[in-house]
A and B are shown apart, each in its own frame.
Chain A
Amino acid sequence: MDKGKGVMGSNARRWAVDFSDNSTSPSSRDVPDPPGFSRASIDQDDSTLSRQKKDAESNWKSQKAWEVAQAPFKNLLMMGFMMWMAGSTVHLFSIGITFSALWQPISALQSVGKSKIQILELNPLHRDAKSCGKKLLQRRCGEYCYCNVAPAIVVVNCNLKPWLLVIFEPYKDSRVELLGPKLLFIALNLGGLALGVWKLNALGLLPTHTSDWVSSLPPAQEVEYSGGGLNLR
């Protein structure tokens, strides 16, 4: 099933390089420095990014955030069409669609929180963590990564907590206002959820009628007992 572009976009940004960790003393980290790695040689000229470039990035981020926030709308339309196609009788197809309609907004809202990867150390030879590519992602917490070019060593840290709206994490920036996109995203997803619930009700799967409660009630016991009939013959 089509999961929508926004989710796909987030997949590309499963990890994020966090360069903010500037502590120099190795003892403050839980992972020891890999052999052959010297902290003193870290090049500090990353901080020389031009202001203009930063602005462009934040613009781009903001734009992307709105894009992500609007992504569920297409989903909503798609769902609506599918539901109409499924009809109002209870069968495998309609139940499948309804439950996927219910599940998608929920999963989108809570997103996949486990892939918050923090790269603590990076060999200067590998300016870009991306060159380590997939290999980096395959490491588990606290593992070393040997990239093929050189004994590049990356220390990885993970945060496995589920992350609400983690989808917006890549666009997090002090200069980007994320509240709007977030609210829109939440609203659209809740709309999707409501559509799912409505469909569930339309299928008669919600116990909103008296009949749903009564049909399991056994008949009332009778106080009196009477027998008899025609005489035996």
Chain B
Amino acid sequence: MAIRVFLIVLLFLSFTNLTYSLYEDQVGLMDWHQKYIGKVKHAVFHTQKTGRKRVLVSTEENVVASLDLRHGEIFWRHVLGTNDVIDGLDIALGKYVITLSSDGSILRAWNLPDGQMVWESSLPGSKASKSILYIPKNLKADKDDLILVYGKGSLNAVSGVDGEVLWKKDFSGESIEVSHIIQSSDVIYVTGFVDSSKISVYGLNAKNGELLENNHAALPFGTFGELLSVSGDMFVVLDEMRSKIVIVHLRNGEISYNQKHISDLTKDLAGQAVILPSRLPGMFALNINSYVLLIKVTNQGELVLVDKVNNGAAVSDSLSISEDEHAFAFVHYGDNKIHLSVKNVNDWNHDLLKESIVIDHQKGKIDKIFVNNYVRTDRSHGFRALMVMEDHSLLLVQQGEIVWSREDGLASVVDVTTSELPVQKEGVSVAKVEQNLFEWLKGHMLKLKGTLMIASPDDLAAIQALRLRSSEKSKMTRDHNGFRKLLIVLTRAGKVFALHTGDGRVVWSILLPSLHKSEACENPVGLHIYQWQVPHHHALDENPSVLVVGQCGPSLSTPAVLSFIDAYTGMELKSLSPAHTAAQVIPLPHTDSTEQRLHLIIDDKQHAYLYPRTPEAIDILKHEFSNVYWYSVDADNGVIRGHALKSNCIQEAVDEYCFDFRDLWSVVFPSESEKIIATMTRKSNEVVHTQAKVMTDYDVMYKYISKNLLFVANAAPKAAGEIGTVIPEEAWLVIYILDTVTGRILHRMTHHGCQGPVHAVFSENWVVYHYFNLRAHRYEMSVVEIYDQSRADNKDVWRFVLGKHNLTSPVSSYSRPEVIAKSQSYFFTHSVKAIEVTSTAKGITSKQLLIGTIGDQVLALDKRFLDPRRTVNPSQAEKEDGIIPLTDSLPIIPQSYITHALKVEGLRGIVTVPAKLESTSLVFAYGVDLFFTQIAPSRTYDSLTEDFSYALLLLTIVALVAAIFVTWVLSERKDLQDKWR
């Protein structure tokens, strides 16, 4: 009976191990969470009423948010889906925030103070078109305030109160590309181009959408860009040569136009002109080269050049400050400062505001500016400007100062790597230590009080505060456990940030100069970030550095940009703009004498370029020449090819760092039945502790551990789209596990009636993937484990005792070991955004899968749940070995959400980094928000918990030593007495 009880207790203990959870007061100790919104697209101020002043923004990350104008904090925020791009934002009825999204097909109203959704209406249409949100002032139809929405080829009048569509006019039959909606009393004019050379105007009755008139005017030339409304009935547009400005006049539905050469306005400028999309009454701004021309349009349709600004940056929309006064802001650069001017549209010579601001040059140029006014106590107008910077950060400027700034570039993290912190220097001053010692003792005395439950509420608060802002975790030096690191993130804006893992603060940031727009590089984008130099032993005096790989545009044929950044200081060490492109970057497993990692950059013409460009690197590569392979996945054609290094490039210019490849093998998937939808490999820095897996009967299975494995998931071409578009009979999922050196297919499996999207994670000898089962209408997760059968006959103990085995000698993929694969599938409730696996320093600790769920949370799921050895009724021995009885679905334990109560909005990726402490893995999840925490999949078996009371331990030891001493003296005395009795 005792055994039974014991076993039950043991089983219970082992089950408690499954969950990773934390107590309420542990939140924020090891984790941090940062909320962002992304690059602001639209901003609407709401400052009229008394109370909290706020600005409503919509961003490129599809966030609609209300920000506190005073501090820049988020009042409320909604992250719409990735496909729900926000096209328009405005305030209606003074209490609703209206957003138009999904190409003008979804209109939503949010309550202004708290962000609750009031109504949503879907405006279906057939034709893709530009979408326009227009909220006319004082336009009512049957007492309803109208909201006019053009999207999907039709104009909808929506009631502002309940979102009901009052009338609808379909333009999808006409070939008009609507660009403007104008309201004049009760008539709504819809203007647009037909074939870019014919202007068309429709007049509609605002009450019921009845078509009143329809006018056309054909221009004798084509146009470039979009119509810009200058005043109620005047528009400007450029002609197709971009040399003439066309002024279109619309009077009661009649169209007239005149044109003017840009060279007539200004003599000395030539180049491609662009009309800036700022809406200014009676004016518009034109950008030629780096000049901004401000041009006034008179009522007669004449153009007058008002100002010409060099280094002009941005022009805001106009702002009505009184009855017929309109102000707008524009900024230009000069002497390392930003000059902000607010001017009255009608009175050009008079500045309403002129300020110079110094902004950190790492924020780059100003991308957009939104201006808002307030009335000072002396009845004059004051202005505040909201600036969107080149690095996507957001600034509020008021009275020549930056009131607040938000690093919203961090909402669009592209890639992440980590770096160690500097080693702590010797020679800390004594005073500091003593003070620290005192603090330390005080802290521990407080903790002791807490443990003994004699702490007052004040003490408890002090303990919690002490735990939360422990200076230990945010130090800028390496720690013993390896918890403190730098997370180096590359954002879409081309800015690199270093975040401290302790508290998430930005240690340094750099807007990469090499990713700036230039003549040679039109639209540079940062793609990936790699660890370039990780000094450990002999090169410790050097700082680690990272490599940022980018390219000069969205297509693969644009040249590459390489930038090397010091990981401690954030300085760009050097940057290269090679002539070749970067289709792939392969970090090799070799480093040179300064511990710079060798990288091969493959261009689109299948040449490999070796970096660093040193003779030493060539020597190292020559040494390993025949062992370096690479493979390319051609998802469009369904081909995977393997290549090997051949020789130096045969080109006109001799480049000894350039190598040619020869094709070795190719795997061609049948294009009529399979389409590559996902591939996954092991992480190159993953550490595996052992090659054997011990079964319950002490039998050994040898894992097939190879870094050169590739998991490929192919779906039926019909089923490559979204879920629900095909019937189960037409959908199947075929998975392959390939050896990328030889091209050998190790395993192939078909899931009938299943389709993507497939998310996979590959670690050690197993791969776990997630897909949708159409037959069961549920998501599924499968695990495949690969074992090496050729090693299975190593069963003689004596060979191991004497060391006569060759299990650790290097192996080649060409030895073609016989492998077997075991797999099992389970249902899983959630759809998944990302899957990762924990990684630890030595690979001993058991693994957990980190699943980014559709609810933007991260769930930790033990790998034990995904074990092909699971059976419905495991034997006693198997149970003791930790095998969980087989169930059809994977359990979701609420406590095992590592994000606890938080959400990582817009979750895109999860990164795990091993800490130095074997039990612990660092997890960084990014999306619109950032989240970081430490997790210990098998609990922290190798360290004391953070709340361990050292003071209590110390006290116990002291008491014990004292007791030993006292009893020793007493016993000695008694002994002596005994002896002399």
Contact = CB atoms under 8 A, between A and B. Distances in A.
Interface of A: 85-87, 89, 91, 93, 138, 148, 204, 207-233
A208 B583 contact: no
Contacts of A233: 527
A207 B7 CA distance: 25
Nearest to B692: A214
Contacts of B963: none
Given A209-B698, A209-B797, A217-B691, A224 B586 contact: no
A224 B627 CA distance: 5
Contacts of B699: 211
A222 B800 contact: no
A207 B700 CA distance: 14
B691 A225 contact: no
Contact of B588 (A138, A221, A227, A230): A227
Given A89-B7, A225-B708, A227-B684, A219 B631 contact: no
B451 to A, nearest CB: 25
Chain A to chain B: the 5 pairs with minimum beta-carbon distance, closest first: A213-B800, A227-B586, A209-B698, A214-B692, A228-B630
B527 A232 contact: yes
Nearest to B980: A146
Given A87-B6, A222-B813, A229-B681, 6 more contacts: A87-B3, A211-B698, A214-B691, A220-B810, A223-B812, A231-B584
B633 interface: yes
B690 A217 contact: yes
A230 B679 contact: yes
Given A214-B691, A217-B692, A220-B809, A228 B582 contact: no
Given A217-B690, A230-B635, A231-B584, A210 B627 contact: no
B807 interface: yes
Contacts of B801: 213
B808 A138 contact: no
Which residue of A93, A204, A207, A228 has the most chain B CB atoms within 10 A of its CB atom? A228
B421 interface: no
B347 interface: no
Nearest to B694: A211
Contacts of A85: 2-3
A229 B691 contact: no
B76 to A, nearest CB: 34
Nearest to B555: A233
B35 interface: no
A221 B808 CA distance: 7
A85 B740 CA distance: 54
A223 B681 contact: no
Contacts of A91: 6, 10
A64 to B, nearest CB: 31
A222 B694 CA distance: 23
B978 A228 contact: no
Interface in B672-727: 679, 681, 684, 688-692, 694-695, 698-700, 702-703, 705-708, 710
A231 B632 contact: yes
Contacts of B587: 227
Among the interface residues A87, A207, A231, which one has the most CB atoms of the partner chain B within 10 A? Answer: A231
Contact of A232 (B585, B589, B708): B585
B706 A225 contact: no
A91 B710 CA distance: 42
Contacts of A218: 688-691, 808
Nearest to A218: B808
B794 interface: yes
Contacts of B624: 225
A220 B807 CA distance: 6
Chain B residues touching A, range? 35 or more
B979 interface: yes
Nearest to B800: A213
B339 interface: no
A204 B705 CA distance: 27
Given A209-B698, A229-B631, A231-B556, A224 B741 contact: yes
10 contacts: A86-B3, A209-B797, A213-B800, A214-B702, A222-B811, A224-B627, A226-B708, A227-B588, A228-B740, A232-B583
B700 A210 contact: yes
Contact of A219 (B551, B628, B703): B703
Nearest to B742: A224
A229 B586 CA distance: 9
A22 B600 CA distance: 96
B508 interface: no
Contact of B797 (A86, A213, A220, A225): A213
B908 to A, nearest CB: 14
B629 interface: yes
B796 interface: yes
Nearest to B556: A231
A226 B705 contact: no
B85 interface: no
Contacts of B630: 226-228
B691 A220 contact: yes
Interface in B533-589: 549, 551, 556, 582-589
Given A210-B796, A231-B632, A222 B810 contact: yes
A214 B700 contact: yes
Contacts of A208: 797
B459 interface: no
Given A211-B694, A213-B801, A222 B812 contact: yes
A87 B814 CA distance: 48
A225 B6 contact: no
B812 A224 contact: yes
Contact of A224 (B527, B549, B629, B694): B629
B692 A228 contact: no
Nearest to B681: A229
Contact of A225 (B628, B702, B705): B628
B11 to A, nearest CB: 11
B487 interface: no
B795 interface: yes
A95 to B, nearest CB: 13
Nearest to A139: B979
Contacts of A230: 633, 635, 679
A89 B879 CA distance: 12
B528 interface: yes
A227 B809 CA distance: 22
B633 A229 contact: yes
Contacts of B582: 232
A225 B689 contact: no
A220 B527 contact: no
A220 B688 CA distance: 10
B297 interface: no
A225 B939 CA distance: 35
Interface in B592-629: 600, 602, 604, 624, 627-629
B692 A215 contact: yes
A228 to B, nearest CB: 4
Contacts of B632: 228-229, 231
B800 A210 contact: yes
A148 to B, nearest CB: 8
B588 A214 contact: no
Contacts of A220: 691, 705, 807-811
B880 interface: yes
A44 B861 CA distance: 89
Contacts of B589: 225
Given A87-B3, A223-B627, A232-B584, A214 B708 contact: no
A217 B699 CA distance: 15
Contact of B880 (A89, A221, A231): A89
Contact of B811 (A212, A223, A232): A223
B411 to A, nearest CB: 20
Contacts of B631: 226-229
A215 B810 contact: no
B810 A221 contact: yes
Nearest to A87: B3
Contacts of B10: 89, 91
B527 A222 contact: no
